[in-house]
Amino acid sequence: MASPKKIVVIGGTGMFGGSVARSLKDNPEFEVVLTTRDANSTKARECREQGYLLVKADSWNAAELDLVFTGAYGVFLNTDSDDPNFKNEVGLPESAMGKIVIDAAIRQNVKYFVFSGLPQSNRLTNGEVSIVSFDNKNAIANYGRKAGFEAFIEVNSGWAMDILFMETYANAFGGFATIPDSEGFLSLKVFPMSNDTGLIPWTSVRDDYGDAVHAVFLEPSKYVNRIIWAVSEAASFQDVADTYNRLTGTQVARFVPQTEPLKASTPGKTKEVNGLRNYCHYMQGKYCNNQVTDNRLLGEMRELKALATKARGKGHASTQSIDGFLRDNATVKLQSPMSKT
């Protein structure tokens, strides 16, 4: 039997890296190695308890990266755009970190590199909409495509379902799904998507993103220089609020379209969410690099999900839905239809 292929997951204790690590860990074809800046953190200890191999490697430290990349078949990288220094443009930019990681992978003869990117807002809007995190992710991807890997692949997320239950984003978008507003509602106060259907490409990072990356590592040469969108479901903001109310037997959730600029908890986050608003308006809601949000966009993710599910030795699995995600996470006790009398 051939030796397992070593995949290094940068930031494997985070949301994106964790999803990738969980998926790959089920496949004996791969040896999964997670990096962490703090080997004594709570998340790092939890990962070790779950059977993961963790190595201390700071993504700013080329020597540490060289060591962990030795003998690696592939690398997965998601740079943390929510890092306060990156968000507020303090010190070196996110793109500088990405280049350090890519250079180390090239030095160690890594063949396959998968990166979690963002839409090409600056290019697609002819420079009219520049978003710090988007611009830096694009700079990393452009650098990686030219670095010399046998395959450099972007696997990008749509709007993450996971942010619906993250305080930072709840504060930015009105409180849904965890913080009641002054009127007692769980309000989703977001700008309209500026497309006829109002559909948003949603991704469950927890449930589906890692499977997309897993499938790409199964046959990376098939996806050379591709940008793949790991989209789980298409649904409007109104659909999200309606689904929450239906599942909980309440009317506490509401979508409140916002036409004025949004305000988040920090200047950096405020600048980002309004940049996102401007991008979606300019692109008429075509978030995924000008692709219409429809079943055609979702098709590839379904194929990747099926491939990864089979490789994990599991039965049939479909991509996550807004309904399923809210069922898993809603804090209000779900009521069955039989109880609504």
pLDDT in tens, 79-103: 999 899 998 899 999 999 999 999 9
Rounded-to-integer distance, Cα 181 and Cα 171, Å: 10
CB 195 within 8 A of CB 285: yes
Residue 339 pLDDT > 60, yes or no? no
- Decide if 161 contacts 202 (C-beta within 8 A): yes
The structural domains of the chain, ordered by start, are 5-333 (3.40.50.720)
Q: How high is the pLDDT of residue 341?
A: 38
Distance between CA atoms of 332 and 250, rounded to whole angstroms? 9
Give the contacts of 264 (CB within 8 A, at least 6 positions apart).
168, 171, 172, 270, 272, 273
Once rounded to an integer, what is the mean pLDDT over residues 35-42? 91
In angstroms, the CA 157 to CA 212 distance is 10
Q: What is the pLDDT of residue 334?
A: 59
Task: Report the DSSP beta bridge partners of residue 5.
Answer: 30
120 — alpha (psi -120 to 50), left (phi > 0) or beta?
Answer: beta
DSSP letter, residue 225: T
| CA 63, 32, 232, 153 torsion-angle sign | positive
Written as six digits, the tokens of 191 are: 């700008």
Global pTM?
0.94
Q: Give the tens place of pLDDT for each residue, 114-124.
A: 999 999 999 99
What mean pLDDT is predicted for residues 64-84?
96
Q: Is 256 helix (H, G, I), strand (E, B) or coil?
A: coil
Count Cβ atoms below 10 Å from residue 190 Cβ, excluding itself: 23
Lowest average pLDDT, out of 107-111, 113-117, 200-204, 311-315, goes to 311-315
Contacts of 288 (CB under 8 A, 6+ apart): 119, 156, 158, 201, 229, 231, 297
